[in-house]
Structure 1
Amino acid sequence: MKKQRLFSSTLALGLLLALAVSIALAQGPGPREELAPQDTVGTAFTYQGRLTDGGSPANGHYDFKFQLYDAASDGNPVGSTVAQEDVAVSEGLFTVQLDFGTDAFTGEARWLEIGVRPGSGGTYTILSPRQPLTPAPYALGLRPGAVIAGDLGVNEAALTLDHAVGGGLRVKSAGGTAVYVDSAGGDGMYVESAGGHAVYVDSADNNGLEMDTIGNDGVVIGSAGDDGVVIGSVGSPSTASYSTDKNGLEVAGAEGYGLYVGRADVDGVYVDSAGYDGLFVSSAVDDGLHVGAVGDNGVYVYLADDDGVYVDVVGDDGVHVSSAGDDGVYANTTQANNEWGFYTPDKVYAGTTLASGGPLMLVAQNGGGRDLDAGEVVVVSGLGNPFGESDTPVPLVQAANADPAAPVFGVVYRRFVLEEERQEIEKDDRAEQVTSLHSRSVEGPAAPGDYLLVVVIGPAQVKAEALSGKPYPGALLAVNAQGKATAADASNLAFGRIIGTALEAPKVEGDGLVWVLVMPR
């Protein structure tokens, strides 16, 4: 009868069971300190209850079994049943350690069902009702490896940081991935406003920030007082350097790529507007910018007040495009004279075909005794001085004449000058004066010693002789004794005197210029 009395009294007084769950990381208010546990916190917790027998506190040894459920009644079991045998009960009090595994507590409500029997034989009597498990009020920290999972509403977040005075989310050191989002229906990470860093990763052996499947934006930062995203060190970089500027994305050091785009169906990197450089690479051991394969533009800069893409010093390629479905590099200019879509003081190499919608021009120096005007046919007279920062000498040219031993070199386009440009930029919270040299063509004659651009292949306007036998479209043009273009005939078909092919007939009135497809031979 004692057994029956025990269970009936326990069933009647089951509500007297008390629950206390302690978590090793729980702490009360106090100074913030970095948590550095020597051992990883496990998943077990302490359960303490009170058992009565006939209205009096029970004494002796009892067998218990515990099972988690996701509902107060019926529902589904969570984890495995935990059995505790020969538990000592003294004055009604007993204490056990329960461990339902790593996936038992993921944020959803849980209820504990308890079964008890005296001694070690017989059936268990299930106590009713199930006990709801409530959180400890000072459990303010998550154990390492904690998982936040569950079905959320459209605008609900798995983790919310409501008021962050400093950094919104800070990872000091991670052996693997610092921040990982497996799947999100909306934004993978959204930071509306942060007084310091919105997301700060100091060190990660694997990925600083990884987003697997995101329905909307991977990372959204509405406003940050300092940097939007800072990655201190990824892998084992040779060095790491922090910027004092307030950057949208800062990578202090990366063993691999600072920014890597595996595949982009549209733009690999898109810069809509930049006050200074759209994309700036100060120094790179290998490629300053490497684009593997993109469906549209490898790099597209819509509007930049300064340089769209600027590469200072690189050990290998400044810009390398392996494969592009459209243009590898596309450059236009807003200048009225359309200069320069592409400019380099060095050589240009094309592996297969070099196609141009405009003329091919070379820099030359006026080595004659008079000024040279646009449209004049010139011949080579010697070797001039290098232009600008180049160390390669340029050809000396002079106006063509009647000398048949002087073959046509090309047609004067414009005078070519090198100008110094100074501008003030903000760097490390201070203004700096930066001086750079820019070349451009200008109107007006090129005096002796001046540099000029000479069209050697392609369309150009040439001074034509207004004589009888005017050249017609498609006719070969040769240079006469006055250095002007005229229709080629038996008298001027000597080797090297052909300028090219007329694209139009000379005008009756006007500047005496005619469009010619320049191709000396």
Structure 2
Amino acid sequence: MNTNTALPNYALTAKNQNKHRMNSRRLFLQFALLLAFSSIEARLSTASAQPTAFSIQGRLNNNGVPANGNYDFQFSIFNAATTGNLIAGPVTVTSVNVANGVFSAIADFGPGVFTGQPRWIQISAAPAGSGTYITLPQRQQVLSAPYSIFAGTASNVVNGAVVKSINGLKDDVILQGTGGVTINTNGNTLTISGSGSGGGAWSQSGSNIYFNGGSVGIGSSTTPDHRLAITSGPRWTTSYWQGELGLDAGGAIGWRANDSSGLRFGMGYSGGGFYTFRTASDLGTTGSVPIYDFSIGDNGNVGIGTTAPAAKLQVIGDVKLGSSGELSAAGATENLRIVRGTIDPGGTVLAGKGFTATRVSTGWYQVTLNTPFPDYSGAEEPSVLATVAPGGIGPIMIAAPNFVQQPHFVTFDFYCLDNTRAYQDGKFSFIIIGAR
């Protein structure tokens, strides 16, 4: 290798490059012979132990003159003479004494490097401690010597026999499959396979596994209360939710209806929000489209009957409140309550809810609310409107709260009069509007 002693700058002219290549080639020819020889010597001294380290000898020239002094070397193993992949190294050996150009170093690349595939060694050198390594331009192929990989006990193995020293066994070793495991041979190939019917809790059917012997618990040794119980998941969010089950976007949990409807129900998250849906497709099939019933968008809007709610709650369809239900807007200027109904001449309720009706006497009716209007100090009196219903007789209606009853705004009086202002029974409708 053409170098100077300090190796400060390694800029080669064309002439120097040619000279460098010639000296490097001479170096590697000498190196290859010495390397093969060292492999034989290593075998003779350490064959029974089969170490992974081996000795490397070569000749290093400095400007055509054998080098002297201490040098640092780096050794790397590649799978090709040029470029290729680095298999092992670099292994650095420092302060190697070079005398009259001759050096000897021991490199250990560890196990699994020399597996029978072609290998080449690359060498870099630098004056000791300088760190300015120069890589020799030509790699040398590592060749095995006749006895370098011959085990100390190999001569005792009968040709075609199985090695008898597996895990300390001294007799013929027999491999035998049990519990659904089978062993087959084809030439020099040994195949071990299983049918999935071993002694484990799970059974296999094709590419699926199943368990029908009881319930399954994940995260706890306690007997599960359900067919599948998942506990002790990792902490999730600052409120210490536990992540028990994770699904990817587009994943859904499905249910089969236990009636004759044939519907399947699912819920899951997809791009844009969380949805619940129903479909006629069985789980694992794609025959029917999903019908979305409920959704929560990424923005927090809730939709019933729509997948794109434009407000905090949007309902496509009717909303029905119970007898004591209320629908109010906190920011509205009025929060009104409306009661309406229709009464026949005999005092029977024909339409409306939340009240009862009584015919007190001819032409006089009382309507009593299940829930009275507010009767606190300063509360506004509800407005009452009554009209003759279609088919009614009396053309005149008078309506007002009955202040005798307590609280004041629970009972309302209605009077039916004819043209002479005489009382007579009649069919009428009413509306009561007041504050909540």
The interval holding the TM-score normalised by the smaller chain is 0.3 to 0.5
- Greater fraction helix: 2
Larger Rg over CA atoms: 2
The normalised TM-score by structure 1 is 0.28
What TM-score results when the alignment is normalised by the length of structure 2?
A: 0.32
